Amino acid sequence: MDWILRPLRRSRWLSPLLLLGLWELGSRTGLIPEHTLAAPSAVLSTLLDMVRSGELPANLAVSFVRVGLGLAIGVSLGVALAFVAGLSRQGEVLVDPVMQIKRTIPVVALAPLFIVWFGIGETPKIALIAFATVFPVYLNLYQGIRGVDVRLIDAARSFGLGRGALIANVILPGALPSLLTGLRYSLTISIVMLVIAEQINATAGLGYLVNNARDYMRTDIIVVCLMVYALLGLAADLLVRRIEHHALAWRPSLVEA
């Protein structure tokens, strides 16, 4: 028995498994009432039932579309604004003050205003996600562009590279690590904003499932949806890490890893 437990003691999974065991034990002994928090076994059973019935995949697909559209708009706008501000002093004067003001505005506080402007359909949900994901990409890429070694730029100009070739071959590769860092932050924020956005009169999506489960006190469904949100965040981070691994393979630190 000890040969089984020995590697588990050194495993990072030990504390989560212990927590699940205590949670299950508390539920079975009545210390944790079912209406307060469903047992892990009940959550797993509910998850399987929702997958088999197609309820979870269908609502997950709706949430994917929302977060995908919002993220695409936010990241595209952030990249465009970062290039405008990072590549010229005039662009910086025009763009950066506005973006710094935007940074100080809590995105959640804009939800009522977006509802007034866009109604209670899909548009305010996508707009909230897009608005929240602009700044991380903008700030990181902007700093990445401004942080490119001036000696590399001077060397490229001495070889006769024009502005377009300079941006494509020197500035963009040099700022790519910063861009990917901003993308990682934006992906994480997009999942957080998805949770908030789907509280706005949603008729489908993970937030819709959570709202319905809350009304019927189905804590098992709520926990299932929270698990899916967490897995989406982990998958998004893993995706960026894979992109970094391939796009930044020239960096010694990544090659050695």
Read off the pLDDT of residues 166-199 as tens digits, 9 standing for 90 and up: 777 777 777 888 888 888 889 888 888 888 888 7
Full-model pTM = 0.78
For residue 95, is pLDDT > 60?
yes
Most confident of 45-49, 165-169, 200-204, 246-250: 45-49
Instruction: Supply the DSSP symbol for 253.
Output: H
For residue 230, is pLDDT > 70?
yes
Q: Domain 57-249 maps to which CATH number in 1.10.630.10, 1.10.10.10, 1.10.3720.10, 3.90.1150.10?
A: 1.10.3720.10
Rounded to the nearest 10°, the torsion over CA 26, 31, 36, 41 is 30
pLDDT tens-digit readout, 27-85? 777 777 777 777 788 888 888 988 998 888 998 898 889 999 999 999 999 999 998 98
pLDDT tens-digit readout, 142-168? 888 888 777 777 776 777 767 777 777
- What confidence tier does 256 reach under pLDDT thresholds 50, 70, 90? very low
Residues of the chain with pLDDT > 70: what percent?
A: 88
Query: Lowest-pLDDT range, 64-68, 128-132, 251-255?
Result: 251-255
How far apart CA 34 and CA 15 sit, in angstroms, is 23
- What confidence tier does 5 reach under pLDDT thresholds 50, 70, 90? low
- Dihedral sign of CA atoms 99, 104, 105, 108 in order: positive
For residue 226, is pLDDT > 80?
yes
Mean pLDDT of the chain: 81
**Other residues' Cβ atoms within 10 Å of the Cβ of residue 75:** 23
